[in-house]
């Protein structure tokens, strides 16, 4: 009887240990340590201003600029095959604050909710401005929508048009920051670049867009303090950034110099803010970055700018964001235009690296990637 009891106890303990190991492996699988991702550039998505969210359900959701009256999204488990979620945000309704020009959505998962920040023309336009963009926020219980306006107004209402919302959440302090671009519209700026173009008879004036940052209220109902100017086009001809940031003007595309599409992230104690310069509709759209020890600057532009620009079959590369995939490597997600069809924007993903000296680079020459870590069970041998 004692032998049977001892043997039964040993079997129970053995089964328990096997069960513990199985549960540990299963838990590792469920918690996302295993993945099988692959893609080729360009992705089969026709988006401008792409934003890629790796949601807590383990799936990848891509949002971007594409519709006249809202936003659509696509979802994937592999980054290669994408399924449509349909329209995830409907704008322009009679009871809504916005009317048209729905641009650059970014979606953040916070405390079980999904918040979409975006820009659109504000219906309150007493002076009938040609550009009246403001930034709003919508909320959903699912990354696939539907998203509904959190408030019946923009987050805040500065006296100039703004676009390209980007949000940084500082989990250490509990603060959040909103970054945006003041539009070029009616924003003529004097500079040596503008003077040289006027002297040559190319343009009468040069308008500029500038990137600002400001602390935002935790409930996204407004901002705290005044927006701080973080980035703008260089004023001096001998500035190292002047040539590449002025190409759309110097190549006579348009009388504007842009600083827009910002995206901020932190590496160690350094904040990296990426931004796009030149005409978003032209071939010279390109990406640079700047660094700071503070989320609201001052920021110093990098010596190796631009880090992303036209090359090979791709033109007009810009409006990027950065995502860390399960391989713990960073990737730059951005839009571009293929030479064979420059009127259409497509999505691309390229490796992004920061070396030991803090220098950021984007390897846009990589046209395809495959990253995998597959869960396996060793059943043993007979």
Q: β-pairing, 175-182 with 148-149?
A: unpaired
What pLDDT sits at residue 374?
Answer: 54
Rounded Cα–Cα distance for residues 179 and 164 (Å): 8
Nearest CA among 156, 181, 164 for reference residue 102: 164
Q: What is the DSSP string of 156-173?
A: ---SS-EEEEEEEEETTT
Task: Compute the distance between CA of residue 310 and CA of residue 339 in angstroms, rounded to an integer.
Answer: 10
**Burial class of 108 by CB neighbour count within 10 A (0 to 12, 13 to 18, 19+):** middle
DSSP state for residue 235 in the 8-state scheme: S
Inter-residue contact 323 to 337 (CB < 8 Å): no
Architecture in CATH for domain 41-372: 5 Propeller (2.115)
181: closest CA among 101, 259, 294, 292?
Answer: 259
> Phi and psi at residue 16, in whole multiples of 5°?
-65, -40
Length of the chain: 382
Question: Can you name the residues that pair with 308 across neighbouring β-strands?
Answer: 287
Q: What is the pLDDT of residue 34?
A: 77
Report yes or no: 231 and 211 within 8 Å, Cβ to Cβ: yes
Q: Cα(261)–Cα(206) distance, rounded to whole angstroms? A: 19
The pLDDT value given to residue 192: 98
The whole-angstrom separation of Cα 136 and Cα 49 is 16
Query: Looking at the DSSP assignment, which residues form a beta bridge with residue 360?
Result: 354
The pLDDT of residue 380 is 39
Cβ proximity of 106 and 151 under 8 Å: no
Beta bridge partners of residue 223, listed in sequence order? 216
pLDDT of the residue at 369: 81
256-257/207-208 β-pairing: parallel
- By C-alpha distance, which of 103, 70, 100 is closest to 85? 70
* Peptide linkage before 306 cis (omega within 30 of 0): yes
Measure the CA angle with vertex 95, ends 89 and 101; round to 5°.
50
Q: Which of 330, 347, 349, 325 is nearest to 338 (CA)?
A: 347
For each successive 10 residues of the chain (382 residues), what is the average pLDDT?
A: 46 40 34 77 97 97 98 97 98 98 98 98 97 98 98 98 98 96 98 98 98 98 98 98 98 98 98 98 97 98 98 97 95 97 97 98 88 52 36
Question: Which residues make Cβ contacts (< 8 Å) with residue 86, sequence separation at least 6?
Answer: 72, 73, 145
- Distance (Å) of CA 199 to CA 186, 192, 203, 241: 21, 10, 9, 21
User: CB neighbours of 327 closer than 8 A, spacing ≥ 6?
Assistant: 35, 371, 373
Whether 122 and 157 have beta carbons less than 8 Å apart is answered as yes
């Amino acid at each position: 009887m004692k032998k049977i009891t001892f043997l039964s106890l040993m079997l129970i303990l053995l089964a328990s240990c096997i069960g513990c190991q199985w549960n540990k492996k299963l838990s590792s699988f469920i918690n996302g340590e295993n993945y099988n991702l692959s893609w080729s550039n360009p992705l089969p998505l026709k988006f401008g201003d792409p934003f890629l969210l790796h949601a807590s359900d383990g799936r990848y959701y891509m949002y971007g600029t594409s519709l006249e009256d809202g936003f659509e999204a696509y979802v994937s488990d592999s980054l290669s095959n994408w399924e449509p979620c349909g329209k995830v945000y409907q704008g322009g309704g009679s009871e809504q604050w916005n009317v048209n020009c729905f641009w650059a959505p970014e979606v953040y998962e916070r405390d079980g909710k999904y918040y979409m920040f975006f820009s659109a023309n504000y219906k309150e336009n007493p002076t009938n401005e040609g550009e009246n963009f403001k930034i709003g926020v919508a909320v959903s219980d699912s990354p696939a929508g539907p998203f509904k306006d959190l408030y019946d107004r923009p987050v805040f209402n500065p006296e100039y048009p703004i676009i390209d919302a980007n949000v940084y959440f500082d989990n250490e302090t509990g603060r959040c920051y909103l970054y945006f671009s003041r539009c070029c519209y009616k924003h003529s700026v004097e500079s040596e670049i503008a003077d040289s173009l006027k002297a040559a008879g190319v343009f009468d004036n040069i308008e500029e867009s500038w990137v600002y940052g400001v602390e935002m209220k935790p409930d996204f109902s407004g901002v705290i303090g005044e927006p701080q100017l973080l980035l703008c086009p260089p004023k001096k001809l001998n500035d190292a950034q002047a040539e590449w940031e002025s190409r759309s003007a110097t190549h006579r595309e348009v009388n504007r110099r842009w600083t827009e599409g910002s995206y901020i992230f932190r590496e160690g104690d350094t904040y990296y803010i990426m931004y796009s310069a030149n005409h978003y509709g032209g071939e010279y759209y390109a990406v640079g970055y700047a660094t700071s020890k503070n989320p609201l600057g001052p920021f110093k532009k990098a010596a190796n700018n631009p880090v992303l620009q036209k090359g090979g079959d791709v033109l007009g590369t810009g409006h990027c964001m950065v995502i860390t995939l399960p391989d713990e490597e960073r990737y730059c997600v951005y839009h571009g235009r293929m030479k064979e069809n420059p009127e259409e924007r497509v999505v691309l993903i390229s490796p992004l690296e920061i070396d030991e000296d803090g220098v950021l680079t984007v390897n846009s020459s990589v046209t395809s990637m495959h990253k995998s870590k597959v869960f396996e069970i060793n059943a043993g041998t007979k």
